[in-house]
Amino acid sequence: MTAFTQQAAELTPAGLDWLAEFNQRGRERWKVTPFPTRKTENWKYTSLQALADGSYLRWPQASGAELSEQVDAIQGLDACALIFVNGVFSESLSCNKLPDSVEVVRFSQANESQQQAILSKLGTIADSEKHLFAALNDSWLQEGVYLHVAKNAQVKTPIYIHHITTPEAQNFAVNQRLLVHLETSAEATVVEHFSSTEEAQNCFTNAVTELQLDANARLTHYHLHLEEENTLHIGGVHVNLDRDATLNSFMMSLGANLQRTDVVVHHRGEGAHCGLNGIYMPNHKHTVDFHTCIEHAVPNCTTHEVFRGIIGDHGKAVFNGRIHIHEDAQKTVADLSNKNLLTSHNAEVDTKPELEIYADDVKCSHGATIAQLEEKALYYLQSRGVDRERAEIMLSFGFINELLEQLAHIPVRDYLTPLVSELFEKKFDRARAAA
Amino acid sequence: MLSVKELRASVGDKEILKGLSLEVKAGEVHAIMGPNGSGKSTLGHVLAGRENYEAIGGSVEFDGKNLLDMDTEERAREGLFLAFQYPVEIPGVSNMEFLKTAVDAVREHRGQEPIDSVQFMKLAREKCKAVNLDDQFLKRGVNEGFSGGEKKRNELMQMMLLEPKLCIMDETDSGLDIDALQVVAEGVNAMRNEDRAIVLVTHYQRLLDFIKPDFVHVLSGGRIIKSGDHSLALELEEKGYGWITKEVA
Alpha carbon distance A74, A241 (integer Å)? 28
Name the band, by pLDDT with cuts 50, 70 and 90, for residue A69.
low
* Binary contact (B73, A395; C-beta < 8 A): no
Predicted confidence at residue A344, as pLDDT, reads 86
3-state SS assignment for residue A73? coil
CA angle A200, A203, A209 (to 5 degrees): 130
Please tell me which of the candidates B48, B90, B109 has its beta carbon nearest to residue A377: B90
Does residue B36 have a pLDDT over 90? no
Best interface-test mutation with B: which of A374, A381, A392, A402 has the largest number of B CBs within 10 A?
A: A381
Alpha carbon distance A375, B51 (integer Å)? 9
Alpha carbon distance B102, B124 (integer Å)? 12
Alpha carbon distance B180, B188 (integer Å)? 12
Q: Where are the beta strands (DSSP E) in B126-186?
A: 141-142, 166-170
- The mean of the pLDDT values for chain A is 92
Alpha carbon distance A13, A206 (integer Å)? 14
Best interface-test mutation with A: which of B41, B85, B88, B156 has the largest number of A CBs within 10 A?
A: B88
Contact call for residues B121 and B103 (beta carbons, < 8 A) = no
Name the band, by pLDDT with cuts 50, 70 and 90, for residue B249.
low
Specify the pairing of strand A88-89 against strand A145-149: unpaired
Contact call for residues B170 and B44 (beta carbons, < 8 A) = yes
CA angle A397, A402, A408 (to 5 degrees): 125
Task: Lowest mean pLDDT of A85-89, A186-190, A299-303, A313-317, name the range.
Answer: A85-89
- Give the residue with greater pLDDT, A212 vs B173: A212
Does residue B233 have a pLDDT over 80? yes
Kindly state the average pLDDT of the residues A241-246.
98
Q: Measured in Å, how far apart are chain A's first and last C-alpha atoms?
A: 52
Does residue A63 have a pLDDT over 70? no
Predicted confidence at residue A76, as pLDDT, reads 85
Specify the pairing of strand A145-149 against strand A218-226: unpaired
Task: Lowest mean pLDDT of A146-160, A233-247, A359-373, name the range.
Answer: A359-373
- Which residues of chain B lie closer than 8 angstroms to A388, CB-CB? 71, 73
Kindly state the average pLDDT of the residues A127-147.
95
Alpha carbon distance A68, B13 (integer Å)? 67
Contact call for residues B217 and B31 (beta carbons, < 8 A) = yes
Does residue B218 have a pLDDT over 50? yes
Specify the pairing of strand B223-228 against strand B65-66: unpaired
**Closest Cα of chain A to B92: distance in Å?**
4
Query: Around Cβ A323, how many Cβ atoms within 10 Å?
Result: 26
* Binary contact (B51, A375; C-beta < 8 A): yes
Does residue A379 have a pLDDT over 80? yes
A283 class by beta-carbon count within 10 Å (0-12 exposed, 13-18 middle, 19+ buried): buried
What single string gives the DSSP state of each residue in A99-164? PTTEEEEEGGG--HHHHHHHHHHTTTSS-TTT-HHHHHHHHH-S--EEEEE-TT-B--SPEEEEEE
Predicted confidence at residue A3, as pLDDT, reads 87
- Residues in A whose CB is inside 8 Å of some CB of B read 374-377, 379-388, 390, 394-395, 397-402, 405
- Which residues of chain A lie closer than 8 angstroms to B72, CB-CB? 379, 382-383
- Which residues of chain A lie closer than 8 angstroms to B98, CB-CB? 381, 384, 394
- Give the residue with greater pLDDT, A343 vs B33: B33
- Which residues of chain B lie closer than 8 angstroms to A401, CB-CB? 92-93
Kindly state the average pLDDT of the residues A159-186.
90
What burial letters (b/e) apply to B147-167, b meaning 16+ CB within 10 Å? eebbbbbbbbbbbbbbebbbb
Alpha carbon distance A276, A337 (integer Å)? 10
Alpha carbon distance A59, A65 (integer Å)? 13
* Binary contact (B92, A405; C-beta < 8 A): yes
* Binary contact (B73, A401; C-beta < 8 A): no
Alpha carbon distance A164, A115 (integer Å)? 26
* Binary contact (A386, B87; C-beta < 8 A): no
Predicted confidence at residue A62, as pLDDT, reads 58
Alpha carbon distance B223, A79 (integer Å)? 68
Torsion region of A96: left, alpha or beta (phi above 0 gives left; psi -120 to 50 gives alpha): alpha
Q: List pLDDT tens digits, range B90-127.
A: 999 999 999 999 999 999 999 999 999 999 999 999 99
Does residue A192 have a pLDDT over 90? yes
Name the band, by pLDDT with cuts 50, 70 and 90, for residue A138.
very high
3-state SS assignment for residue B198? strand
Strand partners for A267: A241, A296
* Binary contact (B105, A385; C-beta < 8 A): yes
Predicted confidence at residue A181, as pLDDT, reads 98
Best interface-test mutation with B: which of A380, A393, A413 has the largest number of B CBs within 10 A?
A: A380
Kindly state the average pLDDT of the residues A244-249.
98
* Binary contact (A382, B73; C-beta < 8 A): yes
Q: With CA atoms as reference, report the closest residue to A340 among A354, A326, A329, A350.
A: A350
Predicted confidence at residue B74, as pLDDT, reads 96
Best interface-test mutation with A: which of B51, B52, B54, B73 has the largest number of A CBs within 10 A?
A: B73
Please tell me which of the candidates B73, B81, B82 has its beta carbon nearest to residue A386: B73
**Closest Cα of chain A to B24: distance in Å?**
20
Does residue B65 have a pLDDT over 80? yes
Predicted confidence at residue A64, as pLDDT, reads 46
Contact call for residues A382 and A391 (beta carbons, < 8 A) = yes
* Binary contact (B105, A379; C-beta < 8 A): no
- Which chain A residue is nearest to residue B48, measuring alpha carbons? A383
- Which chain B residue is nearest to residue A389, measuring alpha carbons? B73
Contact call for residues A143 and A89 (beta carbons, < 8 A) = yes
- Which chain A residue is nearest to residue B158, measuring alpha carbons? A384
**Positive or negative CA dihedral for B69, B75, B78, B80?**
positive
Alpha carbon distance A325, A356 (integer Å)? 6
- Which residues of chain A lie closer than 8 angstroms to B97, CB-CB? 394
- Which chain B residue is nearest to residue A421, measuring alpha carbons? B93
- Which residues of chain A lie closer than 8 angstroms to B79, CB-CB? none
Q: Measured in Å, how far apart are chain B's first and last C-alpha atoms?
A: 31
CA distances to A83, A196, A230, A285, B17 from A167, in Å? 17, 8, 11, 21, 66
- The mean of the pLDDT values for chain B is 93
**Closest Cα of chain B to A148: distance in Å?**
36
Q: List pLDDT tens digits, range B158-217.
A: 999 999 999 999 999 888 889 889 999 999 999 999 999 999 999 888 899 999 999 999
3-state SS assignment for residue A420? helix
Kindly state the average pLDDT of the residues A299-306.
98
Alpha carbon distance B24, B80 (integer Å)? 13
**Closest Cα of chain A to B163: distance in Å?**
11
**Positive or negative CA dihedral for A168, A173, A179, A180?**
positive
* Binary contact (B101, A394; C-beta < 8 A): yes
Contact call for residues A152 and A186 (beta carbons, < 8 A) = yes
Contact call for residues B43 and B201 (beta carbons, < 8 A) = yes
Q: List pLDDT tens digits, range A310-330.
A: 999 999 999 999 999 999 999
* Binary contact (B105, A401; C-beta < 8 A): no
Task: Lowest mean pLDDT of A112-121, A239-248, A278-287, B30-39, name the range.
Answer: B30-39
Predicted confidence at residue A222, as pLDDT, reads 98
Q: With CA atoms as reference, report the closest residue to B84 among A385, A399, A373, A376.
A: A376
Query: Around Cβ A20, how many Cβ atoms within 10 Å?
Result: 11
Torsion region of B211: left, alpha or beta (phi above 0 gives left; psi -120 to 50 gives alpha): beta
Query: Around Cβ B34, how many Cβ atoms within 10 Å?
Result: 25
Does residue A67 have a pLDDT over 70? no
Residue A362 gets which letter from DSSP? Answer: -
3-state SS assignment for residue B239? helix
Residue A269 has φ and ψ, to the nearest 5°, of -135, 150
- Which residues of chain A lie closer than 8 angstroms to B88, CB-CB? 374, 376-377, 379-380
